[in-house]
Amino acid sequence: MKKYLILFLVLFGFSAYAQINILNADQPEEIGKLSKEHQDQLKDNDYLRYPYIDDKDVMWSKIVYEEIDLSEKFNHPLYYPMDGLYNKERRSLWATIKEAILAGKIENIYNDNTPNFNERMDRETYLGRIKTVEEGVEINQSSDKIVSYKIKGIWYVDKRIGELKYRLLGIMPKGRDMNNLESDEPIDLFWLWYKDLRPILHEQLVFDDRNNVSRVNFDQLLTSRRFTARIYAIDNVMDDRGIDQYVDDPFMQLIESERLKTIIRDFEQDLWAY
């Protein structure tokens, strides 16, 4: 019995960390690296373009601000793996974004104090939130220091199909204060326009712990809302004030968040109630 248990653990452990190209690898170091065939497939498989939506076809809409807590197990595909664990195939969402910014693939970075994408952050400022130099040593904003992502999106009803739809507009990582490394209090880093990220996120595969063969990318994961999040603000007449500005108790803030989520979710059903 013990022998079978050990065999099961070995096989399970191996399958849980299996990487792509494992069947075609001639050498162990080739496991996890994208083969030419994989690269060609990703190149030919473009991300799904958003359809054009005429304003007159939108009969109802609501701007919603949410926060994705990376400590929640369901959101771990956005958080893991830690930096340096894999060479090419797998990266965390933050590692993917950081690499794209440092490579100059994302040029428009927006201030964290406004979610309306009307104030661009200068290069020196946003690079200072990604890396710093202390005593001659360069310190980078690592994936394990990113605690959550704030997202801005719009729920809308397309009257042509009579369906409630969601469109992700922007995303903002929340992580370490690189100007105060001794502080454990995370800060908002910067807003990113999601359409600028889509070509980059489409190329990065995400690990699916239910099936190693199943491969989705970060763009598919985010646009299909395969994450859990809490609403922290919703557009309103009082300049989109957050829930914490009119509800003091943290527990009641969660209750209010769920109440707002229910209102949006039930709107589609209410369309056909009368």
Confidence tier at 169 by pLDDT (50, 70, 90): very high
Asked if the structure places residue 48 within a domain, the reply is no
Q: pLDDT averaged over the chain?
A: 81
Asked if the structure places residue 98 within a domain, the reply is yes
Asked if the structure places residue 250 within a domain, the reply is yes
Which amino acid does the sequence have at 81?
Answer: P
CB 243 within 8 A of CB 256: yes
Dist. CA 132–CA 107, nearest whole Å: 20
- Give me 40's structure tokens: 């060609």
Asked if the structure places residue 140 within a domain, the reply is yes
3-state secondary structure of 224: coil
Asked if the structure places residue 21 within a domain, the reply is no
- DSSP, res 101: H
- DSSP, res 62: E
Asked if the structure places residue 106 within a domain, the reply is yes
Dist. CA 270–CA 274, nearest whole Å: 8
For residue 8, pLDDT beyond 90: no
Question: Tens digit of pLDDT for each residue in 117-166?
Answer: 989 999 999 999 999 988 788 899 999 999 999 999 999 988 888 788 99
Count of the separate structural domains present in the chain: 1
Question: Tens digit of pLDDT for each residue in 99-116?
Answer: 999 999 998 999 998 888
Dist. CA 185–CA 23, nearest whole Å: 45
Domain around 242: 53-271
Asked if the structure places residue 19 within a domain, the reply is no
Asked if the structure places residue 15 within a domain, the reply is no
